[in-house]
Structure 1
Amino acid sequence: MNRIIFAFFFISLATQAQNTTTLPKDTTPPHATLKDISWMQGYWTGEAFGGITEEIWTPPLGGSMMFSFKLVVDGEVSFYELGHIREVNKTLVYELKHFNDDLKGWEEKDEVHSFKLVKVDGDRVYFDGFTFEKVSDNEINIYAQIDNEDGSTEEVAFNFKK
């Protein structure tokens, strides 16, 4: 019985990890434009981390698409993310910063989390540790590799609807 549970757990982890990928070391990101991810624009809501999530993406303008993310748990803002996907050297880069509910930043003033483009594959756009998936015009998934306090990582799925 324990072997069955372990096998199921192992298969579940392996299945989850298939939604995100990383850019191999010393590999140049592929060419892409904001047109490849312009379907992200809009107001999206979902549930994750025990609360309500909200993500707003602007249309492409000035070589970038800006976004804001908010997590609300038990009626209180838990945290925000602000960022963008921008065109740089004929490819895309996904960049973000985190903020507490009082807008005090988690990262240092000049620190930004930056994720290189890995590939564009149909309705999926893969960044280093993040995948954006168009399910339909009114539904998207975002898969993110999250670092845990113990040094391990896990893939978290966010499902959003317009």
Structure 2
Amino acid sequence: MKKSLLSSLLFLIYFIAFSQVKQLEKNQEAGKGNVSELDWLEGFWVGTGFGGECEEVWMPAVDGNMIGTFRFWSEGKLIFSEFMNIVQEGETFSLKLKHFNPDLSPWEEKEEWTTFRLVETAENTVYFHGLTMKREADEIRLWLALTENGERTIEELKYVKKEF
């Protein structure tokens, strides 16, 4: 009985986590939206994820670009940071980012970005292909689909809005 209950609980947790992240089908057009709809994302956010501590800062959109930064550290040591840009592209937008090691050496090549295409927006929520950001009051939760060695997992990050 306990094993059956535990299996059911694990399946439910797995289903809830995976249902938070949406994917575009192959050759499916990106969703429609405007960067200006993401003003709820602006601010300084502090929280946890990847087994350590995280911070994100999002500035107001200017000229169809919403710029953000991210840093992750564990046990007091910076592990990596990101430069992010949510870019208006016609009737849609995408999140483009670059990762950097603590010495600022990039993970991606000079002309390459990690790009998340828009699936859809909802109230205080944006669904990118493989990434969801959702705000509830002064908290934001992110769900990121990761694939390593052919195995897909969902990483959840939880943030609280802070003042600088």
Short-chain TM bin: over 0.9
Q: Whole-Å Cα distance in 2 between the matches of residues 125 and 50 of structure 1? A: 24
1:90 corresponds in structure 2 to: 91
* TM-score scaled by length of structure 1: 0.92
1:6-155 matches, within 5 Å, as: 6-136=7-137, 138-148=138-148, 150-155=149-154
**Aligned letter for 2:88?**
E
Q: Whole-Å Cα distance in 1 between the matches of residues 52 and 31 of structure 2? A: 35
1:111 is paired with a residue whose SS is coil
Q: Whole-Å Cα distance in 2 between the matches of residues 50 and 120 of structure 1? A: 28
1:159 corresponds in structure 2 to: 158
Q: Whole-Å Cα distance in 2 between the matches of residues 124 and 81 of structure 1? A: 21
Q: Whole-Å Cα distance in 2 between the matches of residues 48 and 132 of structure 1? A: 14
2:109 is paired with a residue whose SS is coil
Q: Whole-Å Cα distance in 1 between the matches of residues 58 and 116 of structure 2? A: 17
Consecutive unaligned residues in structure 2, runs of 5 or more: none
Q: Whole-Å Cα distance in 1 between the matches of residues 50 and 115 of structure 2? A: 23
More deviation, 3-12/106-115: 3-12
Consecutive unaligned residues in structure 1, runs of 5 or more: none
Q: Whole-Å Cα distance in 2 between the matches of residues 22 and 160 of structure 1? A: 23
Aligned length: 160
TM-aligned CA deviation for residue 34 of structure 1: 1.2
What are the superposed Cα offsets for residues 16-55 of structure 1, whole Å, 9 maximum, x if unpaired?
A: 1011110122222222111211211111100122322110
- Contact 2:40/2:124, CA 8 A, preserved across alignment: no
